[in-house]
Amino acid sequence: MNCELEQRTPAFGLISGVAGTFSKDYTLKLFAQTCFNRFFEFEVKNAYDRGLMKLPIYLSVGQEHIPAAITSVFSDCLIFAQHRAHSVYLSFGGDPRQLIDELLGRPTGCARGMGGSASIHSPQIGMFGHSGLMGDQVPIAVGAALGSAKPVLTVMGDASAEEDYIYGALGFAVTKKLQVLFVCEDNDLSILTRTPVRRSWTLCGLAQGLGLPAVDITDDPWLIAHHVKQFSRQLPAVINIRTCRGLWHAGSGCDGPPEWNRFALIKETMKTLELEQDALAIESETERTVQNLWAEQLRKS
């Protein structure tokens, strides 16, 4: 397996024809969730740009399809993510109204205004909040797996993966054979510092050295779902997903076009699956739904 840091292409690790192995219904549902996450983030950006939010925001534009893909095959689990987790929350069934309220600092927010964008949670879906200490959700997720004997999902970034306690957490999970799926959304950036500047090793190399099954892939959602499904039968396991952050680390700014536009590529794949018209309908309908949801929630202020 190629684990080199510079292996960043939209086709890295892609399995030819993998999207075609999923049913039409599955694909449409996956696409609908992706659209929901994406348009939700655009609405956050709009509200932020209008000055309605007075807190740091961490948008998942460009990465919004990853949790949509994960939850499509791995949903009955406890969830530990960190900042940039709006799409995780939404994909696993978190109440979007409570998330909007949280971002607006309202007491009706999912964390009563205490968490903001970075520390969202939802007991209803088994999602625990994040403290703000990068990567600390990973050992906590391992402890939750130990204590609950339930499958656990933990999502980190490529920078969090460098925290020393990630090594200890991976090691303990494999030693005790705990049911933890470790997902790294690897956008190659710690704020704006690229991964090869920060380290010479890869998360997959580290995980494999510890004896965990691990795979390093691009962010094609069907490919992600394929591997998550495989790994869900042999946890603990690690998936490093090369992806592109569309906007700034914090805030709504943009430094130019991403290395690749996965949303556009997903629509290309939908076309090859002869689902272009369905995709267009879902996209416009979801956009409208999300805009209405935000408008309604904003009126409540």
Partner 1 sequence: MGRTVAEVIRETTRDHLTNHRGLFLGQCVTAVGWIGGTVPAMSEAEGIVELSLADVTNAGIAVGAALAGRRPIYTVRYQGFMWYNAAPIVNYAAKSKDVWGVPCPVFLRAIAMEGNGIGPVASASQHGLIMRMPGMPVCAPMSPGEWTEAWNWFMRHDDPLYVSEHRRSFAIDYEFHNSIEPEADITLFPISAARLNAVEAAHALRKEGILCNIQHLVWLKPFTVTDDMRHALSQTKLGLVIDSDFEIGGPSRSIAYDLMHQCGAPVFALGLEDRSAGVADALDNPTPTPERIVRVVRELVRSGRTVPAGATIE
Residues lying near partner 1 in the complex (CB under 8 A): 78, 80, 111-112, 114-115, 119, 121, 123, 128-129, 131-133, 136, 138-148, 150, 164-165, 167-169, 171-172, 175
Query: Rounded distance, CA 101 to CA 171, Å?
Result: 38
Residue 93 vs 143, nearer CB to partner 1: 143
CB of 206 to partner 1, least distance (A): 14
Q: Answer whether the bond into residue 236 is a cis peptide, omega within 30°.
A: yes
Q: Which residues pair with 180 in a beta bridge?
A: 152
Closest approach, Cβ 17 to partner 1, in A, equals 39
CA neighbor of 69 nearest in space, from 111, 107, 120, 22: 22
**Strand partners of residue 128:** 80
Q: Which is nearer to partner 1, 34 or 122 (CB)?
A: 122
Residue 5 or 180: the one with the smaller Cβ distance to partner 1 is: 180
CB of 256 to partner 1, least distance (A): 35
- Indicate the residue among 96 and 129 with the shorter CB distance to partner 1: 129
Q: Are 120 and 99 in contact (CB under 8 A)?
A: yes
- Token duo for residue 117: 């964008």
Phi-psi region of 135 (alpha: psi -120 to 50; beta: other; left: phi over 0): left
Smallest distance from partner 1 to CB 121, Å? 5
Query: Rounded CA gap, 91 and 36, in Å?
Result: 9
Name the residue nearer to partner 1 (CB basis): 86 or 121.
121
CA-to-CA distance for 147 and 142, rounded, in angstroms? 9
CB of 103 to partner 1, least distance (A): 15
